[in-house]
Structure 1
Amino acid sequence: MRNLRLASKMLVLTIILISTLLVVALVALNRMAAVNAQVKNLVEQTLRKKSTATQLQIGLLSSVRAQKNAILAPDDAKSIEYANLSRKDYDGVRTQYDKLREGLSANANERQSTVIERLGRDLEAFQKVNQETLDLSVLNTTIKGREVIINSVVPDVLSLLERLQEWGKKSTQESDHGALFDLIGQVETIPQLALAHFASMSLEDMTSIETDTTSRLAQIQQGLAAL
């Protein structure tokens, strides 16, 4: 009887041990399933969103770089090429943004929704400025503008100076010589101001040069009318 009771106890203990192992195994399987779901979500959602955001950033930087190249290009053909590239890169940015927004729409929290909406507004603002910049960049390059000044404006200025000097030689009045000297000085500054305007990178400086040029041109016209 004692052996039977001992055998029964061992059986009960064995059953308890096996039951415990089964419970632990079931819990482990359940946790593994949860971990697997989290890993799957990480791969399919989080990493995909991160990859999309990275591609968006790369595309935006590429668009900005092409924009700068369009401004600095030495000829109009290159400016147009870079301008088109900048627009193409920005179209890719919008595509990546739409994908990112779509990916966040299903399970985005409030902070993510706020960030994605703000990003959309910032991209729209960038697109407007970028388009205006590209439109201006293809009109005339800085180098072409300098060539126009050197090949067109400077010869006209030199021709005007020659005529003024010839007129001064024929004039016998001292007052005319003084006014003529001032007028020649004003005319000589026009090409210099134009070149300085092209070389300037500051809006404030360019505005100041434009104001100075306008004033000098008005004085030149008055001086010519008075001769």
Structure 2
Amino acid sequence: MDCAIFCHNTISCQGFNLGTALPYLCQLLTLAPNDVVVTGSSSFNQYIKTTAVVSPVQTSSPGHWGSWHPWFYCSPGSFMHAIRIKYDDYDLYPDSGGVTNLEVFCKYPDGTAANSAVLGVNDYTPPGSWLSYQGCPPGTWIKAWEQSVTPPLGGSIDDDALNNFIFHCSSDLNGRSGLGTALSGTGDTRYPLSLGECPFSTVACGVTLMVESFQYLGDNSAVNDMHLACCFIDLFV
């Protein structure tokens, strides 16, 4: 208990080791990028602070062009519950953008709506249409997603980069029992999907997109990649 209080009262602490001897006795920790595994040994047990944020969580299909936009986070105590996708179909325009925007909706555990945001292309109005609202069943949260990314096609062939998101909801309130409902995504099946998933007892609470800026004389590829941030959730019913 003393170690937990020590971590709680130290702003930079995101976890701590509880061991029988130094350096593991009340050793305070900060999560490194991609550090999503709780470790342990005969010398110590590792605990993660419930307010820690695990990020970035990513897939094995990264994008190719653009820069990372600022992180969007759900209001404290709320989690990602639903999305809408703006999608430019590859067959309908000579310079298709694929996924151009993502609208994210957060919700509190009592069902009250929290904050939301439209992310993605923001330096021009891209072609395409907003797809239907896609939400998780009540009492569940976005916990994982699959994405497909068009490989660089070269020459004068149109590149559209990220072309499909399929978000997966948790199967329970706490994000501890695997994946539940799969949302519909864009329907684009040209390329294989790869999965990114929040670790045990966490669900999505933040997102950042890699977006290519407007190409005045070139090929616009819009959204290229996405990372999630995952927050611990400890609710009981």
Q: TM-score, normalised by structure 1?
A: 0.18
Hey, which of these two has a bigger chunk of strand by percent? 2
